[in-house]
Chain A
Amino acid sequence: MAAVQDGPMELDTEKETKPEILSDGSANLSGNAGSGVLSSSPHAAGAQKPEDQQTLIAVLQFLRRNKLTESVDILKREAGLSDDQENSKATDTGGKGDGDAGDANALLSRVSITSATAPQSAPLPLKSGDDQPDVRVVLSAYSQQGEPPLYKVYYSDLKKFIESVLDCHRAELSQLFYPLFVHMYLELVYNNNESEARAFFDKFSGDQECYYQDDLRVLCGLTKKEHMKGNETLLDFRTSRFVLRISRDSYQLLKRHLQERQNNQIWNIIQEHLYIDIFDGMPRSKSQIDSMSGSLAGEAKREVNKVKVYYGLLKEPEIEVPLDDEDDEAENEEGKPKKKKAKKDSLGSKSKKQDPNAPQQNRIPLPELKDSDKLDKIMYMKESTKRIRLSPENLPSICFYTFLNAYQGLTAVDFTDDSSLLAGGFSDSTVRVWSVTPKKLRKVKSAAELNLIDKESDDVLERIMDEKTASESKVLYGHGGPVYGVSFSPDRNYLLSSSEDGTVRLWSLQTFTCLVGYKGHNYPVWDTQFSPFGYYFVSGGHDRVARLWATDHYQPLRIFAGHLADVTCTRFHPNANYVATGSSDRTVRLWDVLNGNCVRIFTGHKGPIHSLAFSPNGKFLASGATDGRVLLWDIGHGLMIGELKGHTDTIYSLRFSRDGEILASGSMDNTVRLWDAMKAFDDIEMDDFTAATGHIHLYDNSQELLLGSYNSKSTSVIHLHFTRRNLLLAAGMYNSQ
């Protein structure tokens, strides 16, 4: 382990051999080895285990930084550390694992810091071998990398270098600018160098990509350390590592350049705050990079998107559908022997074998089908036989429900699956339910009246309903703030609403009263949705997590934590095993309901995501954001497969038609656009390279895929819904100005 002290070259080669496994965090030492004396510390392999020693050194650095010198002495004496050992910089293992800790310690023993040159020996944040999140946070305060006024110099140097490389590498290396800029700026602010921070910002903020302008504006207002404390998103940005995908050649160039120099502060920052995911192959072009970047955490590491996802649909239960019964259908129970031959309808799934991409039926517990559910399914099948087949030549008709006199207060809309009820959530904290069909809304009679009815009569289900108060719409009061999400249950018995007051409320649609208030998010809940089978629902809010609830548990069953900013949109996959969440950190994540793991991360949007839609076959996901683009994702491979440009404002609603041929998108620019989804998904060619690296070259075929754009009269489109027969319903609020 404590071998001969060769120069930095040996360290380089050792790093070279395992670049894939180690993150660049462990390569930290080479930078410091380049300058200064190499003294071997053979007593590094002392009595203690490597991990303990590192922790010890971390604690010592912490104490020293807080000027607890006496404690430092006592601890040093008791731990038996000599000055040399204690002065050697610990490695930044980057939290990779035990194997790396071992390696890193080997390197540690061969390198000492250049403690003589004071400015550079500022204590680096030391991370222990395993990446406990709390230790990282405690120790990962921004350290001072060199003199503050020199930050400008370092940055301009890097800029000059990157501008001088070959074209093919330049695009990739330019990805570095933004994260470096933000981290350096935050570092200056954190260490109370306000004037230098401002100068740094003024000089270099103009160079950043246009799609980071919103972030830069937030940064601009952040000039003191106290400002940072309240901003959770920035704190998360500080502690998480920005992921960059760079090809091996470009990476070698960069590394060589940075290690040649005397002041390689940039290299240190890269070690600490960036994660460079190296791939073999051609460097990416600017357009490829632009399409995938934009999120607050960089791109997604390739391993993240390799987890197996069961995107197939669950098998439909077999229900006997009696033939020819148009009227008395509802009264017949399932399984009753019929006079006519019953047709077994299995919704087209002829094969009996399990789809390999579909989850097991019992992977997550689902409620059993009640008789009423079976009747619903029969109705569904009958309606679907009357469905119109849509195609580019056969576009759907659009029926628009405009909310008038809502005083700009409409914030959420939902339709039931059979399109019979419509719910609207408003900023005055009310929820209104309308009946879309001529049938009025009735609630159940009060208990006194219920006693008086004849319980044995055949139409008792109608008799329990109160005719006197039947009305077209009913108002539900109860929330304490604007209602940002509404969702009907599939059996039309319940309605969920989520609000700025931090609660999600369950309302009964039989009595039109509130049943439960689910408290868990203590901050505004931006969206909620029932699962396709009822019973479970998901909610996402300002506290950056999405929660999975069941109606009979007052606490959430699953917490999906990982986003860096608010969760603005939550949707269930058609098989109810996965939940997709879109967030203000401009990523879309797919979570597994079974164990709460994040199985996919999709980056590429340049603004907060406000709408998500799964295709009916479960394979694809569409997402729309404030940047006006709709992105299409292949869930199985974890890749972006399409980009639909055309909208000019935030896209608040996305919906696939019932058979998945058409994608409808509605936006704040008062238009509904129809896109050819069939064609968009057919055009994917998947070869080994793209599957391995995830780099697709997207063609700009938005114009060909656009089937129609329909304007409304100054009414932004908040919700879209395809009826069972493929009529498109849209809902929005009229803006008078």
Chain B
Amino acid sequence: MASPKTLPKDAQVMVQILKDMGITEYEPRVINQMLEFTYRYVTTIIEDAKIYSTHAKKSTVDADDIRLAIQCRVDQSFTSPPPRDFLLEVARQKNITPLPLIKPYTGPRLPPDRYCLTAPNYRLKSLQKKVSSSAGRITVPRLSVGPVSSRPSTPTLGTPSVQTVGTKVGTPVSLTGQRFTVQIPQAASVKSATPTTPTVQNVLINPSLIGSKNILITTNMVSQNSSSDSTSLKRKHGDEDDYDAL
């Protein structure tokens, strides 16, 4: 480590600043990081100030431009937490509502699926040849695109029937959707004494043409024991009975 005598002047200044702020123990690389930060910050401010001064058609950059540049940067990068009175007001509003009652026997207590990270963030391309019959015109199962049902325990969502990919339906191209069977590990399970039912998740992906939610998940969660019909979960393509029963 270089002794202070041979450090460049900037670094010596930085050492002094750290000492003034009461920071006595630090790794040697901290000085380099602080100097880089300083350089970047000052350069950004001065560049911004130059832009503002040319915008105001001034010949030189003056203190007002710098002040404006600093203020804009502060609002952008170095935000500070909300002020106390705002927090107190928000807290007052939040704390007035009573605590919600807890429903018994609901399995894993998670927020609605939309707020969870349990949805798959990918989709698989279908390997079926029939898909390529019309570029972009993908056969459509009869869909009712409704709002997403949010509780993981619901077995299916408004889709009244399963159609294989092969059936053609005379609906316009704009209503396209594809149903794929995707094997996804189940999100969470609760250990319970009852034997767990293995699950398969069906993913219906709407390519947002219809403007509804992008991904609808049908999951049969482990803990769901409300409908015992849904135990047969390996979805064969022709298996329409399950849906009618639900």
Contacts and interface: CB of A to CB of B under 8 A. Distances in A.
B8 interface: no
Nearest to A449: B198
Nearest to B74: A230
B102 A511 contact: no
A288 interface: no
Interface string A593-624: 11111000000000000000000000000000
Given A493-B190, A510-B189, A364 B99 contact: yes
User: How large, as a class, is the contact surface on chain B?
Assistant: 35 or more
Contact of B185 (A232, A451, A461, A511): A511
A190 to B, nearest CB: 16
Contact of A515 (B87, B116, B195): B116
A134 B85 contact: yes
Q: Give the 3 A-B residue pairs with the shortest CB-CB distance, closest first.
A: A596-B95, A450-B198, A133-B85
A542 B234 CA distance: 48
Given A133-B84, A136-B85, 19 more contacts: A134-B85, A236-B83, A365-B100, A444-B186, A464-B196, A478-B117, A493-B188, A506-B110, A511-B186, A511-B187, A544-B81, A545-B91, A550-B102, A557-B94, A557-B97, A558-B91, A561-B84, A561-B90, A596-B95
Interface of B: 20-22, 70, 74, 78-85, 87-91, 94-95, 97, 99-102, 104, 106, 108-112, 115-118, 183-193, 195-201, 233-234
21 contacts: A133-B84, A134-B85, A217-B20, A232-B80, A236-B83, A236-B84, A239-B85, A446-B183, A455-B195, A456-B195, A464-B196, A464-B198, A510-B188, A513-B187, A515-B188, A544-B87, A550-B102, A551-B110, A552-B106, A552-B110, A558-B99
Given A230-B80, A455-B198, A544-B87, A515 B100 contact: no
A235 B201 CA distance: 52
Contacts of B97: 557
Contacts of B22: 214, 217
Interface string A351-373: 00000000000001111101110
B1 to A, nearest CB: 13
A543 B82 CA distance: 7
A594 B95 CA distance: 8
B192 A450 contact: no
Contact of A447 (B82, B112, B116, B183): B183
Interface string A553-589: 1101111111010000000000000000000000000
B111 A450 contact: no
Contacts of B198: 447, 450-451, 453, 455, 464
Interface of A: 133-134, 136-137, 214, 217, 220-221, 226, 229-232, 235-236, 239-240, 333, 364-368, 370-372, 444-448, 450-451, 453, 455-456, 460-461, 464, 478, 493, 506, 508, 510-511, 513-517, 522-523, 535, 542-545, 550-554, 556-562, 564, 593-597
Most A-side CB within 10 Å, residue of B89, B116, B197: B116
A188 B198 CA distance: 71
B87 A545 contact: yes
Nearest to B201: A447
Contacts of A229: 74
A652 B104 CA distance: 38
Contact of A232 (B84, B91, B102, B184): B84
Nearest to A595: B95
A455 B197 CA distance: 7
Contact of A365 (B21, B74, B101, B118): B101
Contacts of A478: 117
B237 to A, nearest CB: 16
B110 A493 contact: no
A651 to B, nearest CB: 18
Contact of B78 (A134, A230, A543, A562): A230
B58 to A, nearest CB: 22
Contact of B80 (A137, A231, A445, A556): A231
Nearest to B188: A508
B85 A493 contact: no
B67 to A, nearest CB: 8
A515 B81 contact: no
Nearest to A557: B99
A37 B185 CA distance: 84
A551 B109 contact: yes
A230 B233 CA distance: 57
Contacts of B74: 229-230
B81 A371 contact: no
B191 to A, nearest CB: 5
B95 A371 contact: no
B100 A543 contact: no
A493 B104 CA distance: 18
A226 B66 CA distance: 13
Contacts of A561: 84, 87-88, 90-91
A696 to B, nearest CB: 31
Given A515-B188, A516-B117, A550-B109, A560 B20 contact: no
A234 to B, nearest CB: 11
Nearest to B79: A522
A638 to B, nearest CB: 21
B185 to A, nearest CB: 5
B144 to A, nearest CB: 26
A229 B83 CA distance: 11
B91 A596 contact: yes
A593 B99 CA distance: 9
A511 B85 CA distance: 42
Nearest to B78: A230
Contacts of B108: 493
Contacts of B190: 370, 372, 493
Most B-side CB within 10 Å, residue of A235, A236, A508, A522: A508
Given A371-B193, A372-B192, A515-B116, A365 B104 contact: no
A493 B90 CA distance: 32
A220 B22 CA distance: 11
Nearest to B114: A554
Contact of B84 (A221, A365, A372, A544): A544
Given A493-B190, A511-B187, A535 B102 contact: yes
B83 A556 contact: no
A515 B115 CA distance: 9
B109 A554 contact: no
Nearest to A135: B85
B183 A554 contact: no
Contact of B199 (A364, A447, A456): A447
A367 B196 contact: no
A514 B190 CA distance: 15
B80 A552 contact: no
A447 B80 contact: no
B110 A235 contact: no
A239 B84 CA distance: 9
Nearest to B223: A370
B188 A559 contact: no
A523 B189 CA distance: 31
Contacts of A556: 94
Contacts of B199: 447, 450
B187 A515 contact: yes
A595 to B, nearest CB: 6
Nearest to A408: B27
B194 to A, nearest CB: 9
Contacts of B100: 365, 550, 553, 557
Contacts of A446: 183-185
A453 B97 CA distance: 47
A137 B101 CA distance: 38
Contacts of B85: 133-134, 136-137, 239
B186 A447 contact: yes
B21 A516 contact: no
